[in-house]
Structure 1
Amino acid sequence: MLKKNKYKIAFISWMVFVTYSSLSSFEGVDTPGLNIPHLDKAVHFTFYFVASFLGVFCLREFSGRAISKKKVFLIAVLFAIAFGIIIEVLQYALTTDRQGDVWDAFANSIGALAGIMAVKFLFSGNSRLKWEI
């Protein structure tokens, strides 16, 4: 059962991690010596890169390959972008020490698009990796 649903489990686990990390308070957490400008944008990019990457395989696994690759890519990227925007709105509306940020939503969206492009590049065409899951 686990092997049959590995991408669903990975995707859902990742989205729970992203949600928890995005809505939890990290006030009082000190990172001495770690002062990299715009590091949070790289984190947002990475969160949604992985989300869309895993989303493609989750959808393929869930649909039994009944949905075309093009539709799977579109659904995965639109879901990741919408989820990122919703999380930013929730940060603005529900948290006291976090703020929703348009630039975070932009980084989320760029990460989601890059994740889809990575899947296309790695698993399509003459690649040594095969699309089959």
Structure 2
Amino acid sequence: MSRLIKYHKTLTIMLVVTFLSLMNTSNIKPRDIFSFPHFDKIVHFLMYFTMAFFLMFEYYLHHKHRITHIVQILIIPLFWGAAMELAQLILTENRAAEWWDMLANSLGVIAAYFVVYIFRRNKIITYLILFPFNKKQPIA
């Protein structure tokens, strides 16, 4: 139960991603949202970028400000993306599993890793914005 509380942002994002992945989209017309090709791949990228970013951030906050085992943690959103593609194939009638969606999901996770890595290397961003709870790090 404590893990559910600790990771409430990540779990909320995972629930939203699951809902969006499995919802019936037959009533949504592409021209109603945006009318450029492959917009859905951008959405996939952003959903999984956000999920991985919050997962890494919450892991950092709840594990004594360490960023160890981050690569192992990123397996969670990668598997979640694969599971959602399989669920679309098996559980829905109007959605299909696509390799390109899985690629967009994976690229979002990888991009989130590099953003967190860059933020951790920048002392000003690390101290003031991304990881303000770590008082051991000086600004300089």
Displacement of 1:105 after TM fit? 0.5
Q: 2:108 corresponds to which residue?
A: 111
Moved more, 41-50 or 76-85: 76-85
Displacement of 1:114 after TM fit? 0.2
The higher-RCO structure (CA 8 Å, 6+ apart) is 1
Q: Is the 8 A contact 1:42 1:107 kept in 2?
A: yes
Percent identical among aligned pairs is 25
Q: Is the 8 A contact 1:8 1:61 kept in 2?
A: no
Matching residue's letter, 1:78: I
CA distance in 1, matches of 2:121, 2:82: 32
Matching residue's letter, 1:23: L
Aligned residues: 124
CA distance in 1, matches of 2:13, 2:90: 23
Q: 1:126 corresponds to which residue?
A: 122
Gaps in structure 1 of 5+ consecutive residues: none
Structure 1 residues 28, 126: closer, same or farther in 2, change over 3 A?
closer
Q: 2:28 corresponds to which residue?
A: 29
Displacement of 1:59 after TM fit? 1.7
CA distance in 1, matches of 2:31, 2:103: 28
What does 1:53-132 correspond to in 2, within 5 Å?
Answer: 53-65=53-65, 68-71=66-69, 73-122=70-119, 124-130=120-126, 131=131
CA RMSD in angstroms, aligned pairs only: 1.9
Matching residue's letter, 1:102: W
CA distances 1:21-75 after superposition (whole Å, capped 9, x unpaired): 001111112343631111011000000100110000222234344xx4130x213
Q: Is the 8 A contact 1:80 1:112 kept in 2?
A: yes
Matching residue's letter, 1:58: E
Gaps in structure 2 of 5+ consecutive residues: 134-140
Matching residue's letter, 1:15: M
Q: Is the 8 A contact 1:85 1:105 kept in 2?
A: yes
Larger radius of gyration, structure 1 or 2?
Answer: 2
CA distance in 2, matches of 1:101, 1:36: 18
CA distance in 2, matches of 1:55, 1:102: 24
What is the TM-score of this pair, normalised by structure 1? Answer: 0.83
SS of 1:35's equivalent in the other structure is coil
